[in-house]
Amino acid sequence: MKRLLAIGLLVLGVSVQAQAITLNEARAQGLVGETLSGYIAPLRQDKQTLALVNEINAARTESYQKLADSNNLPVDEVAKMAGQKLVARAQPGEYVKGINGKWLKK
């Protein structure tokens, strides 16, 4: 299960590379942050950031659904497991949304 989730997250990272700005760049620049829900959220509301957030979250939804289907789990459970890992793996200087709903800089 954890291996499948890791593979799914790796696929998500590869699909981002075609963007004008990558997910890693957006994280490093403080444009987006990880949430415990398994999805990224914008910290800035500009057109490019919002487009990136929508594309990444759509890809994550698709990936989470495939993992949920193959493991007979609810999709929200898969997303939450991924969210916990993504928040924990955030690099120093990147933003994460805590349990209290506030943005924290790691």
Cα dist from 43 to 40, 67, 78, whole Å = 10, 28, 24
All structural domains of the chain with their residue ranges: 2-105
Give alpha helix (H) positions in 42-103.
47-71, 75-89
pLDDT in tens, 31-65: 999 999 999 999 999 999 999 999 999 999 999 99
> Token pair of 21, please?
């700005």
Predicted local distance difference test score (pLDDT) of residue 3: 59
Chain length of the chain? 106
What percent of the chain is modeled with pLDDT above 70?
82
Instruction: Give residue 14's pLDDT.
Output: 47
pLDDT for residue 20 = 74
Token reading at 103: 């943005």
